[in-house]
Amino acid sequence: MTARVLQVSAELYPLLKTGGLADVAGALPAALAAAGAEPRLLLPGFPAIQAALAPEGTVAPVALPWSEGRATLLRGRLPGFGMPVYVLDAPGLFDRAGNPYGDADGVAYADNHRRFALLGLAAARLAEGADAAWRPDVVHAHDWHAGLACAHVAASRARRRTAARTVFTIHNLAYQGLFPAGHFGDLGLPAHHYAMEGVEFHGQVSFMKAGLHFADAITTVSPSYAREIRTPEQGCGLDGLLRRRADVLHGILNGVDYAVWSPAHDRGIAQAYDADRPAGKAACKAALQRDCGLDVAAGAPLFGIVSRLTEQKGLPLVLQVLPDLLAGGGQLVVLGSGDARLDEAFAAAAARHPRQVARRTGMDEGLAHRIVAGSDVVLVPSRFEPCGLTQLYGLRYGALPLVHRVGGLADTVVDCTLEDLAAGTATGFAFDGFDADACRRALRRAFALWQRPEDWAAVRATAMRQRFGWDDAARRYVALYGGLLSG
Ligand code: ADP
Ligand code: GLC
């Protein structure tokens, strides 16, 4: 039986992206279809989605749990997606500038609980058969924004209006969608869902907990993170629940969309290259140095960062080891948006060392590719990292990842120890212990390898030959759906 699966997500590459969630939501549907499932998408009607939508019709109105406004489910097509998509058209909630979650200044919208509750409600309406032509067997909800889909489907299953199963994927447990208890009445859920065995979390409403409690299966985006979040250190207060549900919690590593991220056919970079013909990488590096005003020096190891500027990403460690990086003759290019203080710190470093440090702000997809292509190393020293995609892009583009050994970083990067160098399995630099000294030692390993160009080239070739495609992940998701439907 082919599982009909509704993917519910708040972001979608290439239309709307604040981080890796968009990359996953954009690549997974095609991979699922190739692996034998029948996916469709449900998205909030954000301006970028509405502008790209070729509508095919109205599915049904969605009744709001509050009085003002209106909402309608539309069906249509989005360019590049080979399946119909559902868009929740509710202009009063979604037709706003800024990112999906907040205004241009990064302040979260005051009615986010309503906005994302309605997304969950719409998913449940589809599970109940709102579109007579296509009813999902599985609702697959991504991150807290879609967490209420699991609660609403559970409620509608209790009323025998659907038999759909739910899968909830944790992309980042740290963002939980917490709201005051007084907002519960807006969510359209049965009153008894406001309970410890429900969406209540320390006197608040938690959309993340709704997903974790009500989903039939939980996944997260790497095997290591699936273990880490069951500990008090990394469980963000939800480790007890995750331990209780360990039998339905699976770690499925994200893939890379190699149609988007491959130096062999990346039209935005200075010169194409791959593992067998790596020469073009030097041209990409020179172009990046030139564009960023750095010394155009092939011999200077170039370190790149493409990141949200948040505590999670370990960027204070980079600032702490920056003197060593510069003293060793290295260069640094940072592209990031987010925390103003981190941004100012990198801006100050760039002002002090304009030929060695460059800093760019904002979301810039093209520059992200040019940085990964032009860098010798990508820095991802995250405090925690559910999966991490930039290290996977770094591997593919021969920019060796320097990472803190946690989560998906631990699962995808092999440190340049003597034994892994000898075995030909090393692909980057990984350190244990989240402190500047450990990070500095990894940096020293990078400089030591840089002094041995033949070894560097060999590690780089190994890195570029790694494969983290979506096919494997998609097969696992399809097996999971199959298990839920036969169980
Ligand atoms: P997270 O989702 O936690 O931010 P990931 O490594 O999974 O981390 O994904 C980050 C994604 O966002 C990558 O595709 C990366 O290239 C992209 N990205 C992050 N910051 C920027 C930026 N300032 N400009 C362009 N792309 C960015
Ligand atoms: C989250 C995580 C990141 C992961 C991404 C996609 O944003 O922080 O580690 O790669 O989701 O799953």
User: What is the pLDDT, as a whole number, of residue 274?
Assistant: 98
Provide φ and ψ at 83, rounded to 5°. Answer: -140, 160
Closest by Cα among 68, 6, 97 to 43: 6
Fold adopted by 4-255+470-486? Rossmann fold (3.40.50)
The CATH architecture of the domain made up of 280-464 is: 3-Layer(aba) Sandwich (3.40)
Query: Distance between CA 95 and CA 49 in Å, rounded?
Result: 10
Q: What's the CA-to-centroid distance between 373 and ligand 1, angstroms? A: 15
Q: Cα of 255 to ligand 2 centre, how many Å?
A: 11
Q: Model-level pTM?
A: 0.98
Q: Decide if 4-255+470-486 and 280-464 have a common fold.
A: yes
The residue nearest atom 19 of ligand 1, judged by CA position, is: 307
Pocket of ligand 1 (CB under 6 A): 19-21, 23, 306-308, 335-337, 363-365, 368, 387-390
Distance from chain centroid for Cα 239: 21
pLDDT at 1: 80
Ligand 1 atom with minimal separation from the 313 CA: 3
pLDDT in the model for residue 105: 84
Structural domain boundaries in the chain: 4-255+470-486, 280-464
The confidence score (pLDDT) of residue 98 equals 81
pLDDT of residue 106: 85
Q: Tell whether ligand 2 has an atom less than 6 A from the beta carbon of residue 254.
A: yes
Give how far Cα 461 sits from Cα of 239, 301, 322, 468, Å.
39, 17, 27, 15
459 exposure class (CB count in 10 Å sphere: 0-12, 13-18, 19+) = buried
The secondary structure of residue 133, as a DSSP letter, is: T
DSSP state at residue 389: S
| 10-residue stretch averages of pLDDT, the chain, 487 residues long | 96 97 98 98 98 98 95 98 98 94 92 98 98 98 98 98 98 98 98 98 98 98 98 98 98 98 98 97 98 98 98 97 98 97 98 98 97 99 98 98 98 98 98 98 98 98 98 98 95
Question: Kind and range of the H or E element at 314?
Answer: none
Q: Do the bridges between strand 72-77 and strand 54-61 make them parallel or antiparallel, or are there none, so unpaired?
A: antiparallel
